[in-house]
Structure 1
Amino acid sequence: MQALRQFLLLPLIAALALAQDNSIESTGGFCCCCSSVGGPRCGASLHEQNKALRIELNANANCAWQIQRNTNQTVRLVFSHFKFAPSSSCETESIKIYDGPSTNSPLLGQVCNDTDAVPVLQSSSDSLTFIITTNSVAFTRNFFVFYYYFSPETRLENCGGQLTGPNGTFTSPNYPAAYPAFTYCVWHIQTAKNSKIKLQFQDLFLELDKNCQFDFAAVYDGLTTNTGLIGKVCGVAQPKFESSSNVMTVALFTDYANSYRGFSAQYTSVPLPGPVEPDTLLTCSSDSMKIVLSKSYLASLGYKETDLQLRDPSCSPVITNSVIFSFPLASCGTTKKDDGQSITYTNIISLSPTGNIITRQKSVQIIAKCKMENNSTLEVIYVTKSNIVQNTTAVGRYNVSMSFYDSDSFSKPIHQSPYYVDLNQTLFAQVSLHSTDPNLSVFVDTCIASPQPDFGSLTYDLIRSGCNKDDTVVTYPPLEHYGRFKFNAFRFLQRSPSVYLQCDILICDSKNANSRCTEGCISRQKRAISSYMWKTKTVVGPIRLKRNLRSAHNSESLAKADAEDTPNPQQYSFYTLSFVVLISNIIIVVAVILKYHKRQAGYGYQKIPNSY
């Protein structure tokens, strides 16, 4: 009966989808840049709360769309369908999305032929801009994109989450009732090591469309929605998916109209066949990349430790109980890629038997990538049909520190803490990037001061978005791995004797002439730098005024003087006893003298009797 109901509903859903598809192409209120007699429109300025756009472009297009609305909400932009010219590269054809009202805003992401995902991008304020560029190939490019404004603090119940058991079930919000409009839910599934995941949609009823542009579920092979798209489903179906490892991600997208009951899905974990899961470790830092392989894993593939080499064969491993490759980021054949959202360092370990004319072993490559972001470490194993390829990605952080110096030569750092200064004294601050990659530059984006180390509600801007906000701030030109500035010391009124400094630091590829580090001051309202995946924070302090130091010293001196002038109890008892003895001796001496003088007076005045 259920199958019959779904069979009868399919024509109705298809008709509704076709009607909506035609309405998009025919109504100017919903369509942007559709083909017309005069040719397709190129770009637009959009101010609606939400809007869907069907875009058709031909060769040599360079069109920009600006989404801007005076609201405290943020924008979510979904490219649910895109078709570029065949074999086009990301350099010649792409969609670039900027986090702000113009193409001068920070680059938020890029979509091109190589994009293996449904791109979902979110602004950090109330505006977004995207620009589509096409090459000279004669071909009609098709894009479908919708956006909507929303409040980030708004949360749907039963929408997404972490699933870590060996098996489990999950459903769309409100299932089996109709799902809400503008839903974006992400479920991350992770089972035990040495297993893979089988996903079964037991019931799926989403809006039907031949390209699944309106409402759809996307399934990814891994723990991210940025790559590894296995499939995208909509309509009425019971599809099945299988991961290549123990991690899988499912995302649900819906637009503003035609809501149905959604889906109910179940997953199970099964053991991975073939060799055991590689026992590997990848560690990334600002300075180096470290790859550790177990000998047992190599043996399970039929290889020895002598069969391994990096892109640069001269970089040999250290062999103990494990095989360890450790090398600076910019060496041993490592390549670097700046995609506008992160900086990734990649090297490849090749496994091939030595000393044989023929082999029946599969060639193996271990692709190690260090992606410099503020995030946790992620390791994913991918297995191909022809070769076993382990793609291990670790997310690292750049090591940055900040110190004060005694002069603008920046040769002698101040090591004392607290740092005592005079009011209005010029302070010299330097941010240092500790990395072996010579092609990196440092940019001090924002620096704030606070009387408390937790940087609570009371703060004062010294630098904001690269712009000097305090009249005494002077920034120095960037120099290799250093960012430098100076300002005059101050204090917070009736608050605290201390001042702490916190700076947001951006790390850029110095070979990229259009990076944020080269743009300098950008005046932006309600703008944060959260879109910079390669940012970091550093804190220094406290700074205190010297008069507080003198007050402390004076208090110590007075206390010491009081301690010297005030006798202790033993001294007081000794003085008291001595005084009593002295008084007693004086009294004895006086008594003796008085007695002696009295006796002398009696002899002198004795009366002599008469003789007659």
Structure 2
Amino acid sequence: LLGSFNNRTTVPALLNSTSNQLYLHFQSDISVAAAGFHLEYKTVGLAACQEPALPSNGIKIGDRYMVNDVLSFQCEPGYTLQGRSHISCMPGTVRRWNYPSPLCIATCGGTLSSMGGVILSPGFPGAYPNNLDCTWKIELPIGYGAHIQFLNFSTEANHDYLEIQNGPHHTSPMIGQFSGSDPPSALLSTTHETLIHFYSDHSQNRQGFKLAYQAYELQNCPDPPPFQNGYMINSDYSVGQSISFECYPGYILIGYPVLTCQHGINRNWNYPFPRCDAPCGYNVTSQNGTIYSPGFPDEYPILKDCIWLITVPPGHGVYINFTLLQTEAVNDYIAVWDGPDQNSPQLGVFSGNTALETAYSSTNQVLLKFHSDFSNGGFFVLNFHGQCILTLSIKAEDSIWFSW
């Protein structure tokens, strides 16, 4: 507001606007008319804001400095802008910017998550300060590593060091430690996180370093071989991904159930691939299941003595039926006991090529023993089911008991 004038007989002082537009508002009420006013205006040039200082290592966008004009600033790669990125020329009797020009500085450390960038020692291209301890972390998406190139490098030899580590921690594997005036060769990190650490002592500073990094895609781990007698979960074999392995009923997993595609120059899984085997005996606690001869579907080995102990919940018995039975008659056999050991009552001995053999236990534990001699092979597959044992008692003058 330049002024508000009423009930005057004297002419107001000369007014100067500070923009290219002027708004006048005249209002009268219902009584007492007067001569009114007569004013004249003319165009005069407005003063501009002074050209702002261009920050070192910065870029100014815009070339108009009149009232309400806006300038923006950006820093060259590797520098961080401190201050306002946008300033505007303010109206007023004294023309000025609403904020001072910003600065572009090379910071001591930070986190970089873009797919490419520049890292500078503090003060670059001038000398770095004494007693620095700066850490930068490059964080890329999983599946990418950093390709690092040195554009400038000069530190006090054997005293001021730049370290690059293959991972996010100071304990991660070291890619290299560099000092002196020879720029290191280009190098590759093989993880999506890379740590860069620079420290200087109390004397003899140099220009420091300027390095550029660019993300590159890491190769996938090799495809797993066919997984027999089981199945895999997940089909993404890229870096950092995991796959799980599970066996079909009657088989047990030999090896690690979960494998992860490792970071590293040579892309590989962190453990060997597991397998699903039909074992030579083990303790079975599931209520229903399948037992195969060792090595099934291949023929079982010679000279084997395998023992399975099936235990179902109390109050249940075990029903066993063979869906496949092909063994050397008499010499290779399966013995079944109605209890946890070979002193229990025997339910039967099964051998030869008889199919659909069955057995019932009267307790919640069954012991199975498979024996093979020094010759010939074969197969067997048996299924078992835990079934409730019913015990019924009728009390009369003479008690009668029934059990199944």
Higher helix share: 1
TM-score normalized by structure 2? 0.33
TM-score normalized by structure 1? 0.23
User: Could you say which structure has the larger radius of gyration?
Assistant: 2
